[in-house]
Every structure is written in C-alpha cells, then in structure tokens.
Structure 1
C-alpha cells in the first residue's frame, strides 16, 4: 500500500506529488500503518475474511481522510489469508453468510460510492436480513457485484488483472518506474469502475483512451494527470488492483528499491 501511494506519476490519484483537498498522502500512509495488526491476523487466518475486512475498516477509520484503502482490503484479505492467488481462490470458496454480513457492515462504515439502482443497499439495515434469508456468502455478494465493480470481479475471475499487473512488475528492469508503468497500462486498457460510478461510462472510456494515447507517445503523462485532477477523475479501483499486484509480485520475489 505504501509503494502504491508513493508511486508517481499515477494520473488522477493521490501520490507523492499531489493530494486531494480532503485526502492527502499522509492519510494513505497512516492507513497502511493502522491496518498492519489486521493484516497480521489475516496471515494467521485468525478470523473470516468478512470480519477481517470490517476490522481493517475500523482500524483505519480514525484518520480524517475518508476511504483510503477499502477496495485494497477486499483484495488483500483473501490474498494474505491464502498466501498467493491460488490460495486466495481457495479462501474465497470457503466464505460464509456471516462473512457477507460482516462485509456489509464494513461497507456501511465507509463513504464508498455505490450504484443508486443496487438492490442490496449497504446503507439499508434490511440488506443484511436479505443476505441471511437468501443464504448469500461473501463470494455470492462479489458475484452479485462483479458486473459493475472491477474489485469484486477480481474475486470472481481468479484475480485476472492482479495477475497481469504482477507479471508486468516482475518483468520490469526498472523497479522504481515499474509501479507507475503498470498502473498506466491498466488505465489504458480498463475502464475504472470507480470512475464509472462517479461519472458514467463515457468519462471512464475517455480516461482510458487518453491513457492509451500516453502509452503510444501521443500525449504526456503529465497532461493526463493534470486533466484528471481538473476533472476530479481518480481511478481508485485500478489503484486497489495495483496494490494487490504489488503484494503478489513481492511474494514471488520481486525486488523493489
């Protein structure tokens, strides 16, 4: 998480070169420190994944920077519990209805943007009753959300983007530039679902096409970053996937720094 937030340039997102008005680099760094005990519990598999995600949100709620790492927690908890992507898939397959309920409690503690038409409203207390009545596990919830949310989609498709991005990191000859380069590759090939929820698919596709122009050398990364900041376009879901990819690459021997 520290490596991701400090990587620059990373168009549209907080990094060591710029903040957002209400969320600064320090908030992200504080979040990484606050959540460490929960990650250690995940490594010991001391609780279910849903409980661990809720504990992570609670542990990081004392800073005033809003949601900093919720999506990252969703990806990291199964990865840390399982040790790697195959292990995470096994952990995901064992999630329970209680995990789903704990996750919804965690979701309700955040200010994460949701789709207005979602049937299971995280801010509706009756949603947990619906989850229980339907017997929905946390994996079932991710299947339910996967069409609209790329972080949930990683749970369903075997961490496809995480794997692809980790491979980019592992193949890089320049460790310092590897993270922003891998992030830009994601931005140029995928519509960020956080941007979709905030602005719609047209804006997400515009962002993707502009990032592709940067990859082709037709636009500077600095100009894309400036446009994202002006338009308040922040590809937060891709940042979460980048964090999961960094964790995966480090576990496979990638050396940073």
Structure 2
C-alpha cells in the first residue's frame, strides 16, 4: 500500500468505524454533514496527497490544495485537521521525518495555511491575536516573519491538532500503538477513539461548547470504559446535543495512517 493509499484508507476507516460517540459514522449523520461527504473528501483529496508523497510543494501549499479540493461539496470542512497531520507525515515518511519537516516550515507555508483556513468554516478561538478572520492577518504573519511552525506553536495551548506539531506527534504515536494493542479492524479504532476521548479534552468541543462540556464528555467516556455506561447511550446523547469530538477524530486518522505502515490489519 502506498503512502497515498494509506492516507485515504485512514480517512475512510476512521469515519466508517462505529460507534464513535458524537461523530459521523456509518450509523450517524449530522444534518449538514453526512458519511458520504467524508467519503467524497477521501477521494477528492488524492491529488494533494500525491503532491505530499512527491514533495511537489511546501506543506502549507499542499494543505491549502487539499482543503480546496475537498471544499467542493455541501458537507463543508471534513478533514482540515486531518490534512494538517497527514501532509507532514506523508512528506516526512513517518513521524521522525515529520518532526524534522515541520521545524523547517516557512513564512509562505504559514500564508498558504491561512489562505486555506479562510476558505473554510473551521472553528477558531475568539479573540486570538492572529485571528484567521482578520483581513490583515496575512500581512501580520509576513511582518512578524512567522513560519507555519510558529503558528502551530502559538495555537498549541488551545488546539490539540496544532499541539501535535510541537510535541513530536505524541498522541499520534500513542494512538497508533493503542490500535495495535487493541487488536485489529473497527473494534480497535473504536477502543482507541474511546481511550483518547476519556483522557484528552477535545479542543473542537472546547471551541464549540466550552471547556466544561469537554471535561464532562471525558468523564462520560471514562464511565463507558469502566463499564458504568453504555457506549451507544453516550453516542446518542452526544449526537443529539451536537457534541462532536472532531479533533480526536483527526488524530485517529493520523494514527491509523502510521499503524497501517507498521503492519496493523484493518480487515480482520
């Protein structure tokens, strides 16, 4: 399986796994984003993923390209965070190479990333001094000579996907190991997702609903892992309230990509 195929498989396997409390999967849609939107993005992203494999441009431009290709359906943004992880992992041929690559990003990478962000409806933290919605944000990046790594460093305290760039893809590595520990196929994906949900406050939930809801979601996931609550009950509750752990889903995609390259079996 090529790196591009592994990336597409990772995107597909994550969204199809069931039950993943709160997220779109084979049994749950949201009104504005459905399973087929995620699957369409998996297919539409291929030219950008090929650019990453060929190292045909900088990571910022490739992330922008991936977002542009997949922002062509009515489902809105589906994989922005996943592209932020997959592109350096593909370009770096794994986690070690990705660590080196992100440290050498440029101001132009940051500019392309901001341009990609401005073409989506991705949630951001209000009041950020580098507000993506500020028309002068790109000029500020250039003025301060901020690289894409600098932008991720700035965002890391409030965004767990950005945090992966600055902590050496720590959760991606951990989740890839968990996938192999939990076995194979869909059950391993669900168990890994639930583990992260019980131990990490999902920053997409924080942005959308506040920190208290993110912490409460962790507690509920821990109850499921402890056998005190039914996973299907939690899934229905989160779906009903629109509480979707989107950042954890992005990290699961990256971890599946890594695990597939290390021999993890998806079709057991």
TM-score calculated relative to the size of structure 1: 0.99
2:180 counterpart residue number: 170
The offset of 1:116, in angstroms, is 1.1
2:45 counterpart residue number: 35
Provide the rounded CA distance (Å) in 1 between the counterparts of 2:142 and 2:185: 46
- Counterpart selection for 1:115 from 114, 125, 130: 125
Provide the rounded CA distance (Å) in 1 between the counterparts of 2:133 and 2:259: 36
2:240 counterpart residue number: 230
Alignment of 1:105-254 (within 5 A): 105-254=115-264
- Counterpart selection for 2:82 from 47, 72, 87: 72
TM-score calculated relative to the size of structure 2: 0.95
Alignment of 1:2-13 (within 5 A): 2-13=12-23
Partner SS state of residue 146, structure 1: helix
Deviations 1:191-226 (A, max 9, x none): 000000011110000000000000000000001101
The offset of 1:182, in angstroms, is 0.4
Provide the rounded CA distance (Å) in 1 between the counterparts of 2:83 and 2:183: 29
Aligned Cα root-mean-square deviation (Å):
0.7
Provide the rounded CA distance (Å) in 2 between the counterparts of 1:250 and 1:40: 18
The offset of 1:122, in angstroms, is 1.0
- Counterpart selection for 2:109 from 71, 94, 99: 99
Deviations 1:90-143 (A, max 9, x none): 110110000000000001111011111111111222101110011100000000
Whether 1:52 aligns to 2:65 is: no
Provide the rounded CA distance (Å) in 2 between the counterparts of 1:7 and 1:175: 9
2:97 counterpart residue number: 87
Structure 1 residue runs of 4+, over 4 Å off?
none
> Contact 2:94/2:258 (CA < 8 Å) preserved in 1?
yes
- Counterpart selection for 2:30 from 20, 37, 58: 20
Provide the rounded CA distance (Å) in 2 between the counterparts of 1:156 and 1:133: 23
Deviations 1:7-65 (A, max 9, x none): 00000000000100000000000000000111011011000000001000110111110
2:8 counterpart residue number: none
